[in-house]
Structure formats: structure tokens, C-alpha cells
A and B are shown apart, each in its own frame.
Chain A
Amino acid sequence: MSLIFEKSKSGRGGFKVLRNDTPLNKEFPKKYRRKDLPLLPEVSELDVVRHFTNLSRKNFSIDTSFYPLGSCTMKYNPKFTEDTASLDGFRNLHPLIPDISGGNSLSQGALEVVYRLEQLFLNITGMKAFTMQPLAGAHGELLGSMLISAYHRSRNEKREFVIVPDSSHGTNPSSSAIAGHKVIVIPTDEKGYMDFGEFKKQLSKNVAAVMLTSPNTAGLFNHRIKEICELAHSFGALMYYDGANLNAVLGKVRPGDLGFDVIHLNLHKTFSTPHGGGGPGAGPVGVNEKLIGFLPFPKVVILKDGSFGLSYPEKSIGKVSPFYGNYAVLLKAYAYILFLGKEGLIDVSEKAVLNANYIRKKLSKAYKIGYNHTCMHECVFSASEQVKQGIHAIDIAKYLIDKGIHPPTVYFPSIVKEALMIEPTETESKDILDYFIEVMLEIAELSKFNPQILKDSPVTTPVRRLDEAKAARELNLRA
């Protein structure tokens, strides 16, 4: 499909700009003026509408396809939550309003949302305080790492290392490094858990924190998690909970009760805010007593008279984002939690785990399972049996596309060779799962008897397999 820039016709007008109704018409001084107009397309509104409508049709999405992308939690996003974020009183509200003199009374409703959502998060996680500032999960990790540094600094300790298991999301070591830590990687044992012996060996008073995802990326809940927390604490290290997979255990277990000191939530996963093609997300961070004082400012607080205001705690590490996080995303998560309530959220986790185990069981004869154990919200298979026929995880992925299914996450976690990481989510019915299972079993057969069909897929898409090496070698990043 041609680019919108290629549809441009010199002199064609698009949107009608508001006119200048003042008597002034001044020329902007030449010395400071840009020479040439930016080469934006000259197209009509209909050109734009048709172009982007047609582009949208070239995407798989939750609303069009089953999307079992492991670790990303592609669950259905209830439509009404979109409406709440579009309410004029929220979407046209300037974020500096509560900060200016006389403005606080004009933002009470918006501040109340932040405050009430924090109370819900405290109940859900067992933590003691939250900040909504982080704009994505990885941003929450970075803030968490910075809070950990601030904590140790306040105790006149300089701790260099952060421990992460090799099954962690890539953002864990990356966020730690950007916050100034060195990373110690612990291997995974044969059962799929962080190797406990190796972990014990690496713990020292030079470890600032241990970052864990629970359930981990293999979909397993580590039954020794409390022991790990206690052991880390005995060395003065803090425990970081990567909340990427909290959606599996809502109401079952709370990171605060386990002894975690700092956690982040991915609202686009657990609380079903849309992923938006890659963003915006939101990654609120929760802490216990040890870290409350360091949270970013401004903090939304309830004042003595019951109204809501901002506070700037003295020991705060500062700002990590301009205001109160991705506010419109917070609104959608708030609406989702209020709508589902206690029983609804518990049901979400139960059905997510039920669905994943159903797939695990049904596919375990045809595919090698990563770790043979009851899983939580996702299960990881390996295409290693199929590799014997020359079929790789990527071939399986591409054939699924031809069958109208978005592929699972492939080649992650790297602890499982040729990984296929499947997260069906709770909003998918048994009928859909059965269709997926049927296609996966068909692929297992095809890999034995007609592997070329898999190698040649996809054939139903606007383009077929793309040359990624060429893209990186001969960079073409713009028209």
C-alpha cells in the first residue's frame, strides 16, 4: 500500500484550520522563521480516513483474532472503559491545574481517582503506598531500581549488584543497569525455578536487590518464594516484584504479604487497558514502609478537610514523569477494577490459569513441554521435536497467522530452546481454545508429513516473510 506522502497532491487542502478572528496580522520575523515548509502530505480528509482505515485492516488485534502472545496478556479490553477516559472533564483537564494557586478546587475529581485507585492497589497487592508516575512497566522497574538505590544510600551503604534469574524479562537487567547497578544472573534449575543453591552462593552484603517475576516467565509459581525473600532480607537486600504476571494470582497471593519491598504493576496486562499497538502502558510502583519516603513527587494525598491535594515529600527522589502517570490509562484500569470487583478479579486469575493448563495438557503429547508441572496463566512449549523435521518455532508462528491466530511469543524465555510461550488469557472461551489446539495439532502433523507448507507460510497476509537482515543492513527508516 502506498505511503500517505505518495498520495499528496500539491495544493490539495485537508482540515480547515480555525481562522484568525483578531485584527492583527503580523509577519513572523524572517531571521527566526523556518525556510521551507515541512514536507507533510497535502491530502483531503477522506484521503486520510481511507488510508488509515485500510492500514488498520492489515493488523491482527484482540478484537479480530485470538492473540495468545505469552507474557503480554492480550485479553479483551471492555469497551466502556474507553468511554471513561474520554469524559471531557478528564481529557481536557490541564495537569498543572492543581499546582497553581486557586486551581486545586478545579481538579478534585481527577485527584480523587488517583487517590482511590491507589487504595485499591494497596488492597490488591498488600503494599503500603503507590505512585502512579511510571509510564510503562519498564519505567516502573527503572523507578523501583532508583528507589532501591536511594534506600541504601540513605543508610550509607553502597551496594553494587542486583540479582536476576536468567528467565527474567530483558527489561529487568536493563533497568537495573540504567539505574547504575551491576547484574548477577542466576541460572534456572531443571524444574524451571531460579537455582536456589546458586542464588544462595551469590547473595552477599553487596547485593542491593533481587528482582523476581512471580509466576515466572515459564509460567511457574515458585513455592520457595517466601524463603527467597527472607534470605535476601537477612543480607540487607531488598526484594523487587516484577508484576508482569500478577494477573495469574489476584486474590490468591499478595507480594506485600510475601515480603516484597517494591513492585510494579502493568496496567495493560493485569487490569486490561489496551496495548495500543505498543503503548501507552502504565507501570505504577508500590512500596512498603522502607521506601515510602523516597517515592516521586508530587504525591496525591487526602487532606484533613477530606479534599485532595498534592504533597512534595522531603526525601522524594524527584520526578520520573511530568505529572501523575498516564492518567487516561489509570482511568481505564480504575473502571475495570470497579466493574469486576473482588469476585470478578479472582475469577479472572482462575480462568486465566484454567485456560493455560487446558492448553498445556492438550498439547503436551505433540510438543515438548518446557517444564512438566501445573502452570499458572501461561505455558511454555519447545519446538525441539519439530526441529528434527527442520521446522522451527518461527515456522509454527507463521502458519498460525494463516489460520487467523496471532502467534504466541517465540524464542522467549531463552531458558527454553525454540520456545513457544502461550498465554490464552481468561477472556477466551473453550471453543476458541479448542480451535487453537486443533491447529497446533495439525501443525505437529504437518511438520512430519508436509513441512514445506509450514516453511512457506504465511500466504494469506498482505506480505509474506520479510527480510529482516536486509532491513538492518540497508537502513531505510523514512521516506
Chain B
Amino acid sequence: MNYTPHTDSEVKEMLSDIGVSSVEELFSDISPDIRAKSFNLPEGKSEFEVKKYLKDLSEKNSGRLVSFLGAGFYDHYIPSAVDSLSSRSEFYTSYTPYQPECSQGWLQSIYEYQTAVCRLTGMEVSNASLYDGGTALFEAVMMALRVTGRKKIIVDSGVNFIYRSILKTYISNLSVNLIETELSKNSVSSKDILSLIDNDTAAVVFQNPNFLGTVDDYSDIVGFAHERGALAVESVYPISLGLVKAPGEMGVDIAVGEGQSLGNYLSFGGPYLGILACKKKFVRKMPGRVVGKTVDVEGKEGYVLTLQTREQHIRREKATSNICSNQSLCALRALIYLCLLGRQGLRDLAQVIYNKTEFAKSLIESIPSVEVNREILTFNEFTVSVPKKADKVSAEMIKKGFVPGFPLGRVYKGMDNYLLISVTEKRSKEEISKFAATLKKIL
């Protein structure tokens, strides 16, 4: 039986109305010499068989380990209402709201998402979202190049190595001078950045908390950049903004970030959510979709996609970006998540994470051969030096049922003995204690 709804008699009737004798005749523009040489696919399976096969495959993965792995992608609890609401098919089986009158649900949701992102980051305007945090960082850099007309970009080495890697790939075809700072001992590189910013600099790019978990106040760097006509771009971890100084408070021009932590699953790498918000004066240089409020012919308030003249379907090769979609469903999940938490809930969550992280830190630093840097402030993630290769520690801990974090050797020179440990609210006191005890045992 076919998956498609056509009965045999309907097919016959349709063919006769079209005026051809077979479906194959409709494909007569594809001449025999260019027909597919093979189409070597398996026979179709039943729904049950496919589900069972994939369930079996899913169970070959690491479900049951207690994880302290973060590195920019975090395992937070997701309230059931997020799944339930975003699974409404009126949301997930529709498309980009080109026809506003029959898409007000989506348009208002995106307008609310833009509002929530602005309030979270302390920025003035937000777009409707981009693919992921790395793309958002690249797009922010492109924006800074357009705004300043300059070619030099300074990137702090505390920016997630994955984003730096994506950025390098993208700009390899463009004439951009990309300078990365050296990582200093305390993993705070402010001094180094200051000496690099000059009158040719388009943007200085940093991350807070940085990849090693360090929290800083970047107001001085932002001010210094502004004096030289450069823009400041900050990559944020949205959950930290319940506690940590917001980009808007430090004068940042473009805030970007990975929104996965806001109600989106890790899902082995995607889909995620690229957040991009900026000062209002740059709004016409901002990439991506954006929703605006307006009125209908009767004066009733409603929402539409706006500023479309920047976009590829109108501007083609002159567009601000080639991106023609946004991560609506992931943005919706982030919005629902933020609404469920609310202003106090986000603060409470950030405070719980901070405390649990500090608790983990205190237990781990009491292990004799392990060192934790107490001079720096961290939020949810911190580095520890261990007396042997962190890779080895990782492999041994995995055997004991823990993913101990991210070994830093492959990202930073001279850090082969360092682990990046992340704690979310899901880790209980008991799990953290057992983790520290196990780590002590194997070292």
C-alpha cells in the first residue's frame, strides 16, 4: 500500500484530465541517457520496525553516566511545558510567517522572543534568531566590518574554541585580519587585548564567562574599544545572565550567544539557537529575520516580518546575510522556558548553579594532588589541574561512570593536565560528592 493518499482510480482520472497516459510520461523531459544509474535503497519498513531500530541505536549511547561535561553546551532541566507547547503542530508544521494574517501566533511569539532576549542581555534590539552561537558570532563580526568599514578583528582566546574555529573557516575567503590574544595565566586576558585595539580595529570579541569559566567585568575594554572607534562583541551564556553582569550594562555593541541552554536539548549537537542582539543604531545592519509591530487596515495591532529589504530574497547578492530562515522552534522553546522561570526564577536558578559549582570546587580542591585557581571568579564551570594527562583521567573516570569534563590539552598549549568541569542544577550533592571521591581515588 502506498504512503500517498491517491487511489488507483483517482490516479487514472487525474492522468486523463492532464492528458497523458501514465505518470512516467510526466517525466519525459528526463531523457533515458540521463536517468539515475542506480537507486539502491532498501525496501520500506513499518513504523514499528523503524522506531525499534532507532531505539536500539539510541541505547548504544551514554545515557546513564553522570556528566560534568559542558564546554559551552549544557545539560539543564527542561520543564515539561516546554516540550508540550512546542510540540503543538500549529507551531512546528508551519513555515516562515510570510502571510502575517494567518501566522499571528508565530509572529507574536517571535516578537516576544525578541523582547525577552533584549531584556535578558540588556540590549536594545534582537533579531528572530540564527542557526547557533557560532554562526551568531560570525554574523556579529561581519556586522562590525560593515558598520566600521575596517578589516581588523581581535578575538580573545577565552572565546569558545568551536566558535573561533567556525569564524576562521568563514573568513578564510574574505580579506579580514583576525588576531587572537594569548591566554594569560589567570585565563583573563584584558591587558593583552587593550594593547591590540587600535584605530584600524573593527571589533573586539570576548566571551563572559569565558571558555574556562572565568567571569569578568569587561567595561574597561568596551570603553577602550569605543574610544578607538571599534565595536565590542560579547558572547554570553544566557543562564549566567541571572547573576552575571549583562552585556548592555557594560556598553557592549553586539551581544551573541548559544541559546541551547534555554530549554533546548543537547541532541548530539543540534538544533541549537543563535542569539544576536545589538544597539538600535545598528539595526539596519543586523542580519537575519526580524518581527515588528504594526496595525491592520482597521487600526488593530498585529505583527509582520519587517526590514526585509536587507534580505536575500530581495537584495540577492547585496543582502546583509545569506541566511533565509531562523530557528523559530528553538527560539520558541527558549521563550517558553524564560517565561516559566520568570525574573526571579532565572536568578534563583543561576544562584543554585553557582552554589553547586562552588561546592564541587571546594570538594575537588581538597584532593591533595589537584589544584584549583582560587583567584578567579567562575560561575558554572572551572578548570582544575590534575597530576597526570587529563585525557587519561577522562578515560578512567568514564569507566567509573562519570564524564569528568573537557580535557583542555587540545584547545590550549600547555594545558594537557587541565580539565574543564561544569556543574548544572541537575547534579545533586550526592553525585558531586561521589564524583570528587572517585576522582581522588584514581589520582
Query: How many Å lie between the Cα of A339 and that of B319 in the bound state?
Result: 39
- In whole angstroms, how far apart are the Cα atoms of A28 and B28 in the complex? 71
Q: In residues 298-329 of chain A, which contact B (Cβ within 8 Å)?
A: 317-329
A318 to B308, alpha carbons, bound, how many Å?
Answer: 31
User: What mask results when residues 159 to 195 of chain B are scored 1 for a CB within 8 Å of chain A, else 0?
Assistant: 0001001101110111000000000000000000000
Q: Does A429 contact B (CB under 8 A)?
A: yes
A3 to B355 CA separation, bound complex (whole angstroms): 34
B325 contacts A by Cβ under 8 Å:
yes
The verdict on A43 contacting B95 (CB below 8 Å), with A361-B18, A466-B302 known, is no
CB distance from A172 to the nearest CB of B (A): 8
Contact A14–B339 (Cβ < 8 Å): yes
Q: Indicate whether B285 reaches chain A with its CB closer than 8 angstroms.
A: no
Residue of A nearest to B138 (CB): A320
18 contacts between A and B (CB under 8 A): A18-B349, A34-B122, A38-B120, A40-B119, A59-B97, A100-B394, A102-B397, A126-B37, A135-B135, A274-B92, A276-B91, A278-B128, A322-B270, A343-B43, A347-B4, A361-B18, A428-B5, A476-B293
A84 and B434 CA atoms in complex are apart in Å by 33
* CA of A335 to CA of B46, assembled, Å: 10
Q: Is B418 an interface residue (CB 8 A)?
A: no
Answer yes or no: B374 CB below 8 A from chain A CBs. no
Chain B residues whose C-beta falls within 8 Å of the C-beta of A95 in the assembled complex? 73, 266, 268-270
Residue numbers in B under 8 Å from A221 (CB-CB): 27, 29-30
Whether, in the assembled complex, A243 has its beta carbon less than 8 Å from a beta carbon of chain B, the answer is no
Given A353-B26, A472-B306, verify A32-B245 contact (CB < 8 Å).
yes
When distances are taken between beta carbons in the complex, the residues of chain A under 8 Å from B265 are 91-92, 328
Enumerate the 5 nearest inter-chain pairs by beta-carbon distance, A residue then B residue, closest first.
A341-B44, A323-B269, A89-B58, A109-B60, A102-B395
Alpha-carbon distance A274/B94, docked complex (angstroms): 8
Partner of B44, one of A38, A173, A339: A339
Q: When the two chains form their complex, are residues B306 and A468 in contact, meaning their CB atoms are under 8 A apart?
A: yes
Q: Are A40 and B339 in contact (CB under 8 A)?
A: yes
- Contact with B115, one of A5, A31, A83 (Cβ below 8 angstroms): A5
B426 in the interface (beta carbon within 8 A): yes
Interface string of A245-264 (1 = CB under 8 A from B): 00001111110011000000
Q: Does A103 interact with chain B (Cβ within 8 Å)?
A: yes
B27-57 contacts to A, CB under 8 A, are 27-31, 33-47, 50-51, 53-57
Q: Is the CB of B345 within 8 A of A136?
A: no
Asked whether A407 and B99 contact (CB < 8 A) given A64-B90, A97-B62, A109-B58, the answer is: yes
Is the CB–CB distance between A93 and B355 below 8 Å? Answer: no
Residues of B contacting A222 in the complex (Cβ-Cβ under 8 angstroms): 29
The stretch among B148-156, B227-235, B364-372, B398-406 that forms the contact with chain A is: B398-406
The residue in chain A whose Cβ has the minimal distance to the Cβ of B171 is: A180
Whether B63 contacts A103 by the Cβ 8 Å rule is: no
* A453 lies within 8 A of chain B by Cβ: no
The reply to whether B169 and A430 form a contact with Cβ atoms under 8 Å apart is no
Could you tell me the distance in whole angstroms from the C-beta of A22 to the nearest C-beta in chain B? 4
Q: Using Cβ atoms and an 8 Å threshold, which residues of chain B touch A249?
A: 27, 30
A103–B62 Cα distance when bound, in Å, is 9
Kindly list chain B residues whose C-beta atoms are within 8 Å of the C-beta of A450. Answer: none
Interface residues on B, range: 35 or more
Q: Which residues of B lie under 8 Å from residue A146 when comparing CB positions?
A: 169-170, 172-173
In angstroms, Cα B88 to Cα A322, docked, is 28
Task: Check: B387 CB closer than 8 A to any chain A CB.
Answer: no
Smallest CB–CB gap between A477 and chain B, Å?
A: 5
Tell whether, in the assembled complex, residue B269 and residue A22 are in contact, meaning their CB atoms are under 8 Å apart. Answer: no
Report which of B169, B267, B329 forms a contact with A279, defined as CB distance below 8 A: B329
User: In the assembled complex, which residues on chain B have CB atoms less than 8 Å from the CB atom of A29?
Assistant: 377
A275 to B283, CA, bound (A): 27
Which residues of chain A come closer than 8 Å to B59, judged between CB atoms?
Answer: 89, 109
Instruction: Look across to chain B and name the residue whose beta carbon is closest to the beta carbon of A102.
Output: B395
Q: Does A57 belong to the interface (CB within 8 Å)?
A: yes
User: Quick check: is A69 within 8 A (CB to CB) of the other chain?
Assistant: yes
| B126 CB within 8 Å of chain A | yes
A156 at the interface (CB under 8 A from B): no
Query: What 18 new A-B contacts, CB under 8 Å, besides A137-B325, A344-B3?
Result: A37-B347, A38-B246, A56-B91, A92-B63, A110-B58, A113-B54, A136-B323, A138-B312, A257-B34, A276-B92, A276-B327, A277-B91, A318-B172, A328-B267, A343-B44, A374-B20, A430-B13, A477-B125
Give per-residue flags for A209-249: 1 if the beta carbon is below 8 A from chain B beta carbons, else 0: 00000000000111101100000000000000000000001
In the complex, what residues of A have CB within 8 A of residue B294's CB? 466-468, 470-471, 476
Residues of B near A45 (CB, < 8 A) are 79, 81, 340
- Decide if B300 is an interface residue (CB 8 Å cutoff): yes
Is there contact, CB below 8 Å, between A42 and B243?
no
Which residue of A88, A342, A470 is within 8 Å of B295 (Cβ)?
A: A470
Partner-contacting stretch, out of A74-82, A199-207, A438-446: A74-82
CA distance A62 to B91 in the complex (A): 10
How many residues in A have their beta carbons less than 8 Å from beta carbons of B? 202
Contact of A346 among B39, B295, B362 (CB under 8 A): B39
Residues on B with C-beta less than 8 A from A142 are 322
Closest-by-CB residue of B relative to A324 is B269
Question: Cβ of A418 < 8 Å from any Cβ of B?
Answer: no
The answer to whether B351 and A252 touch across the interface, beta carbons within 8 angstroms, is no
Contact B61 A277 (CB under 8 A): no
The interface residues of chain B lying within 8 Å CB-to-CB of A322 are 73, 132-134, 162, 166, 269-270, 272
When the two chains form their complex, are residues A327 and B267 in contact, meaning their CB atoms are under 8 A apart?
yes
Q: Taking the complex as formed, is A354 at the interface, i.e. its CB lies under 8 A from any CB of chain B?
A: yes
CB distance from A70 to the nearest CB of B (A): 11
Q: Is A52 an interface residue (CB 8 A)?
A: yes
Q: From A43, A250, A251, A478, name the one whose CB has the most chain B CB atoms within 10 angstroms.
A: A478
Q: Is the CB of B339 within 8 A of A43?
A: yes
- Would you call B351 and A136 a contact (CB within 8 A)? no
Asked if A35 CB lies within 8 Å of chain B CBs, one says: yes
Provided the pairs A41-B339, A223-B31 are in contact, do residues A348 and B3 lie with their beta carbons within 8 angstroms? yes
Which of A34, A139, A479 contacts B245, CB < 8 Å?
Answer: A34
Contacts of B289 in A (CB 8 A): 278
A387 within 8 A of B: no
Which of B173, B246, B342, B391 makes the CB contact (< 8 A) with A41?
B342
Q: B362: nearest residue on chain A (CB-CB)?
A: A24
The answer to the question of B200 belonging to the interface, with a C-beta cut-off of 8 Å to chain A, is no
Residues in B223-280 with C-beta less than 8 Å from chain A: 241-246, 249, 265-272
Partner of B340, one of A15, A257, A328, A467: A15
Most chain A beta-carbon neighbours within 10 Å: one of B46, B54, B343, B377: B54
Inter-chain contact A361/B432, CB cutoff 8 Å: no
Across the interface, which residues of A come within 8 angstroms of B109, CB to CB?
52, 55, 277
Q: Is the CB of A94 within 8 A of B266?
A: yes
Residues in B whose Cβ lies below 8 Å from that of A106: 61-62, 65, 398, 403
Asked if B198 CB lies within 8 Å of chain A CBs, one says no
| Contact mask for chain B residues 375-410; partner A; CB cutoff 8 A; 1 contact, 0 none | 001010000000000011011111100010011000
Inter-chain CA distance A299–B126, complex, in Å, is 34
Q: Which A residues are CB-close (under 8 A) to B40?
A: 123, 342
Does the CB pair A3–B119 fall under 8 Å? no
- Looking across the interface, which residue of chain A has its beta carbon closest to that of B42? A341
B114 touches A477 (CB 8 A): yes
Interface residue ranges of B284-341 to A (CB < 8 Å): 289-298, 300-304, 306-309, 311-319, 321-330, 332, 336, 338-341
Q: Is A281 an interface residue (CB 8 A)?
A: yes
Cα separation A137 to B322 with both chains bound (whole Å): 10
Is B327 touching A279 in the complex (CB atoms < 8 A)? Answer: yes
> Does A124 reach chain B (CB closer than 8 Å)?
yes
